[in-house]
Chains A and B, each alone.
Chain A
Amino acid sequence: MLEPLEESLRAGTLVVQRCERCGWWRWPPQLCCPRCLSEQYSWAKPSGSATVYSYTVIHRPPAPHRHRVPYLLAIVRLDEGPHLLTNLEEIAPEDVAVGLAVRVQVRVGADGTASYPFVPAAVG
């Protein structure tokens, strides 16, 4: 079910499910639309623009992420509506605020794994 998303991310583009019946954008991916229960959806490309809904500066995470501290975990709200759990990059923790305009920047690691952090809208 998630292959189109993974493929798109590896190609550098974040896509989000959009209900084909009612047009509702949704995240995280799921089988049906929580609004109209239709199982028909497409993978649509959002504008990539979002605002920060909330954020936290992580200082003491579980082992696999300890080398990254401090890092920024955030919830952003896409202009299309869905909220995404993500990381904020290319910004100092003290410069982050709720409501800050950000945009997605898909990254593909050397091992082919993709991530979709957000950066300040003014950057890149």
Chain B
Amino acid sequence: MAGVPKRRRRAAISGVYTTAQSQSASSRYGLSYALEAITGALAEANLGKRDIQGLYAAIDGWPQLHGPSSSRYDATNWATLLGVPLRWLTGSPNSGNGSGVSALLDAAAAIESGYIDTAVIAAGMSAHRPGATAPWTVPTDPLTDWLGSFSAAQFALVARRYMHVYGATVEQFAAAASTIRNYGSINPDAVFSRSGPYSVQDILDAPMVADPLTRLMCAPANNGGAAIVVTTLERARDGTQAPVVVLGGADQAVYPAYAEAPLLEHPAGGPFPTRWVDDAFGRSEVSRDDVDVVQLYDSFAPWVLMQWELLGYCLPGEGGAFVESGVMAVDGRWPTCTDGGCSSFSDFGVPAILRPIEAVRQLRGQVADDCPGWRDGVHTHRPGQCRQARDPRVGLAVGMGPPTGGGQLVIVAKDR
């Protein structure tokens, strides 16, 4: 009997697209942003709608349909809308804010196994009140309405506990926020383009939202959409851009986002399991040192420190010193959140999809900043002017919606 065939196929990202990201009031539906992004990403991939076999999109409702509006993924709605049959129906519909990365991992696995050839991951949201607290993170349970909880408050609770256990400081949180916001400030496409530069003190001096989080440590809500086309590496080589290979990844859900008390430690005792992170590196066959550019999920600045620890780049409690050492800068070891992240580039409610998109742009060398030669891919790598990492080959992107315990991680690399 012949042996089990080894996995032969590789999945690669062949198209990415981001709509304008904006805080202005908009009459567009999230679906409209998603559609624009899907069309744009397909064009970059040199594919048409008939090539779509799988699609997962996080949107804020189905305005054109009768019946209750649902933000849930619904393959039949999409098949009807696009006029194409869909053959991959399981793309992580319920993984919340991190769903873009989870769906990307699922799509890559489906493509590698030969189940489908091409999938599109998309997202589009229209914040109801731009600039306001994200409405989807305020619990509406009658039992907990009275609490006055909301997303920043939940992360503030985790941050306070983290400060208590490890001695982290607000200056360390502010260091992460200023580095990331300064990238966003020199990104012409960022919601907060030209808003900086920000010093650590500027971050600390911003109005307090939920102690210890100031407004500049929090990502505000905005409108926007994005899409990623994933296909076989062979087909990706026919696209208009160099393919970016999905090496691997992993995800983990342990705890509901925003619903109840967010704990730094596992409710049943001990730390949250982190084996999923090791699995992601193992499956990708890269080490942490092989990574050249990192896109963390910076919805709230303290979470950046904790993600470095979770990812195994430093020990628990060392995230603050790690960040303050300058690793995240464009001339540092791991340029991080180089588009300005959730806090400055865009947080349209489900912004996890934007993390791998920025990783792709970094690997392609397609980054707009203040370098005189950026249009030709010529960069100075000087902080405050440049946000392009130096010749990156491997990128890491995470989607980490919940305050603790879970997350999604994908590792991507240049084809050649």
A121 to B146 CA separation, bound complex (whole angstroms): 22
> Is B69 engaged at the interface, CB distance under 8 Å to the other chain?
no
Interface SS of B by simple majority: loop
> Is B202 engaged at the interface, CB distance under 8 Å to the other chain?
no
Q: Could you tell me how many residues of chain B have their Cβ less than 8 Å away from some Cβ of chain A?
A: 36
> Is B260 engaged at the interface, CB distance under 8 Å to the other chain?
yes
Is there an interface contact between A59 and B210, defined as CB atoms closer than 8 Å? yes
On chain B, the residues within 8 Å of A60 by CB distance are: 207-210, 215
A113 to B142 CA separation, bound complex (whole angstroms): 9
Chain B nearest Cβ from A51, distance in angstroms: 12
Is there an interface contact between B261 and A84, defined as CB atoms closer than 8 Å? yes
> Is B149 engaged at the interface, CB distance under 8 Å to the other chain?
yes
Q: Pick out which of these stretches binds chain A: B153-161, B192-200, B224-232.
A: B153-161
Is there an interface contact between A98 and B211, defined as CB atoms closer than 8 Å? no
> Is A41 engaged at the interface, CB distance under 8 Å to the other chain?
no
Is there an interface contact between A59 and B208, defined as CB atoms closer than 8 Å? yes
Chain B nearest Cβ from A113, distance in angstroms: 7
Chain A nearest Cβ from B203, distance in angstroms: 16
Contacts A28-B259, A73-B149, A73-B153; is A56 near B211 (CB within 8 Å)?
A: yes
Residues on B lying within 8 angstroms of A by beta carbon are 132-133, 138, 142-150, 153, 156-161, 164, 207-213, 215, 259-264, 267-268
Listed by A's residue number, 25 A-B pairs whose Cβ atoms lie within 8 Å are: A2-B143, A28-B143, A28-B259, A35-B268, A54-B160, A54-B264, A55-B157, A55-B160, A56-B160, A57-B208, A58-B209, A58-B210, A59-B208, A60-B210, A60-B215, A61-B148, A62-B138, A62-B150, A64-B145, A75-B261, A75-B263, A85-B147, A85-B260, A87-B146, A98-B160
Residues on A lying within 8 angstroms of B by beta carbon are 2, 5-6, 27-28, 34-35, 53-62, 64-65, 68, 71, 73-75, 82-87, 93, 98, 113, 115
- Closest A-B pairs by Cβ, 3 of them: A56-B156, A65-B148, A54-B161
